[in-house]
Structures are given as C-alpha cells and as structure tokens.
Structure 1
Amino acid sequence: MKLLRFGPPGAEKPGLLDADGTVRDASGAVADWSGEALAPAALAALPAPADLPAAPAGVRLGPCVARPGKIIAIGLNYSDHAKETGAELPAEPIIFMKATTSYCGPDDAVLLPRGSTKTDWEVELGVVVGAKARYVAEADAAAHIAGYCVVHDVSEREHQIERCGQWVKGKSHDTFCPTGPWLVTPDEVPDPLDLRLWLEIDGKMRQDGSTSTMAFGPAYLISYLSQFMTLEPGDLITTGTPPGVGMGCKPPEYLKAGMKIKLGIDGLGEQNQEIGQA
C-alpha cells in the first residue's frame, strides 16, 4: 500500500495511490496519516484504493505523513559515504535531529538559507514509526515500522560543521526535509537493505548507491533509538546517505539557485525540486 497526502501546504488530505498510479482521496475513511491511523490493523481496515474517489488531476503532493513529532537523523551510516568524507565508520549510530519546520512535500522548492555558501544534497531512506517503541528488541523492531519513504536530507555544511555546536543548525532550515511522494508499507518492501537510491542535479547523476552498504539497518535503528527515547507513531527516522554528496567532491560543490534536483529510491518513488532563495 502507498500512503500519501495531497493538496495545498497546510491543508493536505490523506490519500492512497492505486495500481494505475491515480491518487485516491481517503479523507472519508481516515482523518490523516498520523497516530493510530498508521497501525497495521488500521491500515488493514482501509477500503481498497480503487473504491475511493479520485483526487483532482495534477494535485500537489505534500509530505506523505502528517508532521511528525520527531525527525531523527542518522549520520555516517553508509560505509562508502564515511570513506568519501575521510571519517571512520562509527561504532554506534550518530544521532541528530532535524526541526519539524524543515518538513515539506517531495516536489516543493528547496530554499537556500540567507547567506548560504555550502548547501548540500543527500538522498536517504526514511523509516516511519507505526507503533510506540520503548526498549524494543531488534528482533521485534519490524513490527513498529509503518513503512518506508524517500527523504532529501538537505544540509548547510558551514552551519553544520563550522558554526560550533550540534549538526542540527545545518539540518533544520525551512524546506530542508522533503519527504515522499508516498509511504510504502513493509509488505511491498521485501528487503529494505537491498534498495537502490540515487540523486541527479541538472540531469547529471551525483549519487547512485545501495542501502546494502548501511552500517545500521532500519530494525537495528528502531531498537537502538528506543533505548534512549520513546518512538511514537508518525516519527520519521532518516537513515543516512550513500556517497556522492557535494562535500565529498574535489573540490567541494554545493547547490545554487536555479538548479534542478531529481532523486529517488527504487520502489519508493521520486522527488523533483528546484533550488530557490529564502
């Protein structure tokens, strides 16, 4: 099943994608994709997408679930990305937060912060929590996953690395977390550690990797994070990026206004963004 949200920013309705790729309006069956609506039993009780009315053609897609209570990000989680940055693969997951105000739709414009000089790109696999998780064993973690999605973890490297303090400053600007186009339930993702993910800028491939090079997979991350905080339905975990980011180029390259980005994960959909200025 593919869950999505459509409509103007701040007024999105819940929807489903049918087998023909048509957006269907699920607002008569569910208030929004959040909380208990993401539980397996609630999703199993939904009408078939084909039985729901079609949304207007060409409608904007918003982020695939309602604004999460937490956006938790994992740093240096791909062995080949750690190598390109010159960093050691961490012994435990590196955790940082992205502000929920950075959350936006998959095709919304990404805005460079005022004075930005080092805004970078990062395609990532997103994991959405479907059931409350606290001190969960790794063997039980899969039951707490509502689904998987594409996330663009946009990063201002000067703010992240050179401005002191934690990474959150470089990760939290408005529009720095495009999410979607849809949330794909686990039954349609046989192996989340065997997914190709890629990113193009102005038609040139910049990232082309696989989740198989992750150091810490989704189930491990759910278990690990639940030892330090309660994970709640709708929380988003973005799990790190493969190599090919601008910071790793020699010399480094960064985003500029007017550039066009296309990114995706096989089976989870694509995003298209134009870079603008805040």
Structure 2
Amino acid sequence: MKLVTYRPHDAEVIDAPLFGAVRDQEIIHFGSTRGHDTEGLDSIKTYLSGLPGTFERAAAIVADPTVSGVPLTGVRLLPVLPEPAAILDSGLSPTHLRASSRTLLRHSLPTLIGRPLGRILGRAASRSTTVRFYKGNHHSISGHGDEIAWPDFTAYLDIEPELALVTGPETQRHTDRVQPAGYLIYNDASARDVQLGEMLFTGPASSKDFDTGNGIGPYLVTPDEVSNPLAIDVQVEFDTRPAWRGSTSDYTHHPEELLAHVLRRRSLPAGTIIGMGTIPGCCGLDRDEWLNPGEAFTIRFEGIGELQQSFGTPTAMPRTNWPRRDSE
C-alpha cells in the first residue's frame, strides 16, 4: 500500500488532515469506510502504533472493490508523517561519501590543503563499514509541492535524496531481524558552505536543521510492495538541466540490518524516520553542480513515488568562505 496524509482542496487549513491509501488514481479514506474494522486507522500515528493489526485492516479495505474513493487530483498530499517521533540519518553510501568529501574540503579549505585532504578522507570514508547516525530536527518538515526556505546564512543550498525507513511499535526492538513499517523518500536539504565546521566539531546543526529542511513523502510505502530496497533506481529531474541519476544499490546495509543495528543501541518510538544516506550522483555536492534560488526539482524513486519541491529565494545571496555566488 501507499499510505497518505492529505486534505481535500476545498477543505479549510484548520480542518484535521485525513488518512488513507492510494488505489490506482484515487484515495481511499479509512475513516469513512463502512462494513470494515477501522480500529487504529484514524491517522498515520495510530496506524504505526497499532501494527501489525492496522496493516491487515487497511489492506482489507483497499482490496475491497465496493469501497470507493476520491480522485487523487482532488486532494493536496501532505507530509505522510506530519509529526515524526524522531529523525535519524546515516551515511551508508560509500560512493557519495567519497565524492562529497572531496568537494566539501576542496571548497572549504585552501587549495593546497583541501584537495589532497579531500582525496585522503574521501577514500577513508568510503571504506568504512561502521554504521553511524545523527539526529535531525523532526519539527522542520516539508512535503510534496512545498517550497524549502533558503536560509540567510548559506549560498550553497543543496538537496540530498535518500531512501528512508519508518519504524513501527517500540515492542519490536532487541531482535536480530526487524522489518520497517514502510519506506519513504527523504530529502535532507543541506547548507554546504557551513557544513564542514559542524561535521568536525558539534555535528550537523544549522547546515541540516533549518526550517522546512527535511522533505518527506508523499507516500509511506509498505514493505510488501518493495521487493528489493537495494535495487531502486533514483532520478532527480529539473526544468532547465539534465537529470541526475543514481540507485540504492550503493548502500552497504539492508534497511532491516540498519534498523536492527540502531535498536540494539536505543529504543525507537513508532514513527521514527531513519535516512539511509544520499544516493550517489544525486546531490550538488557529489557533482560540484549547484541548484539556484527558486529552482524546482522532482525526486523519483522507482516504486516509491516522487517528491516535488523547490527552493525559495534569499533577499540577498550571503557571503561565505566558499566562492562567491550572486542571486539568480
């Protein structure tokens, strides 16, 4: 199933979001279904907390041909998890780590230091098999069709398309094999020209957790629809430049391995998002190719969906220690 949180176009902003699933080109609203058990299907939050029973009840409703829905074109898709319990992010793509380290250090440090150090650290990062993760701001969410505000402290705003998993009930911890509750697209927007200092000392903060900087959705895709999460083709499309292409095949760990690893170290409430790392070749830092203020983009994951977003425009392009950019 592709689960969604949405609001009809004619609804008021103050109206509570609705929860349902996509079937063909329509949305089935679980709350308006008669003749089926809808316990735990009030919202994505109650759905995740009630697994596995809620999955079985939702699947039965979607499979019933007598249950009608509303056209997908008649609703606005909201972030499927409007209020994630937490966000964790990891870096399980060696190719991305190698390429991004080179670019980051080349621009952040004097040339005679940055270039060789970038090559050395890039190779070291790409060889590591250790699973590391950091915390994100789960209050800075944006979704499909949203604009990501351009922070006033960066001239190099970037996207980071990632496959992310979402957790189910906390009772699933301390097992060798644990299945995510589902998968979604995660765009970990990043301010590159302020990132290095944070990565070396405090960990990601301003470079990652500015308002609207965590793009998710629009669907939570249940595991039964994802036959191999390590064989998903990814594409980022733009209006005025060639598409960027990559794959989840570069990830060093299966999502179930990643989840089991994290659960051995800490408990996770239902509704936690865990990003697996940037898809190689699908961010500006990998390519040393930069998005412009106001630019729109579409992140597509085969079988998972697409996330359409855009960057806002700063009042003036900030000056940083990276090469100067003018507002465009």
Give TM-score, length-normalised by structure 2.
0.76
TM-superposition CA deviations, 1:92-134 (whole Å, max 9, x none)? 1221121012212122111111232121111111101123243
Q: Which residue of 1 aligns with 2:20?
A: 15
Q: Which residue of 2 aligns with 1:61?
A: 77
Structure showing the higher helix proportion among its residues: 2
Aligned: 1:83 with 2:88: no
Aligned: 1:194 with 2:198: no
**SS of equivalent residue, structure 2 residue 196:** helix
**Which protein is bigger by CA-based radius of gyration?**
2
Change (3 A) 1:10 1:136: farther
Q: Which residue of 2 aligns with 1:167?
A: 204
**SS of equivalent residue, structure 1 residue 45:** helix
Give, in whole Å, the separation in 2 of the partners of 1:123 and 1:261.
11
Change (3 A) 1:205 1:219: farther
The counterpart of 2:284, out of the listed 219, 224, 246, is: 246
The counterpart of 2:300, out of the listed 260, 264, 267, is: 264
Give, in whole Å, the separation in 2 of the partners of 1:212 and 1:43.
28
**SS of equivalent residue, structure 1 residue 101:** coil
Supply the RMSD in Å over aligned alpha carbons.
2.2
Note if contact 1:35-1:233 (Cα within 8 Å) is conserved in structure 2.
no
Give, in whole Å, the separation in 2 of the partners of 1:259 and 1:104.
16
The counterpart of 1:152, out of the listed 187, 197, 205, is: 187
Aligned: 1:136 with 2:175: yes
Give 1:37 shift.
4.0
Give TM-score, length-normalised by structure 1.
0.88
Give 1:79 shift.
2.2
Give 5+ residue unaligned stretches, structure 1: none
Give, in whole Å, the separation in 1 of the partners of 2:263 and 2:219.
25
TM-superposition CA deviations, 1:152-174 (whole Å, max 9, x none)? 11111233223552113311111
Give 1:2 shift.
0.9
The counterpart of 1:31, out of the listed 38, 42, 53, is: 42
Q: Could you tell me which amino acid in structure 1 is paired with residue 18 of structure 2?
A: K
Change (3 A) 1:117 1:34: same
Change (3 A) 1:56 1:193: closer
**SS of equivalent residue, structure 2 residue 70:** coil
Q: Could you tell me which amino acid in structure 1 is paired with residue 168 of structure 2?
A: G
TM-superposition CA deviations, 1:232-255 (whole Å, max 9, x none)? 211111111122221233xx3333
Give 5+ residue unaligned stretches, structure 2: 8-12, 33-37, 103-121, 315-328
Note if contact 2:48-2:169 (Cα within 8 Å) is conserved in structure 1.
no
Q: Which residue of 2 aligns with 1:45?
A: 57
Q: Which residue of 1 aligns with 2:309?
A: 273
Higher normalized contact order (CA 8 Å, seq sep 6+, divided by chain length): 1
Note if contact 1:97-1:168 (Cα within 8 Å) is conserved in structure 2.
no
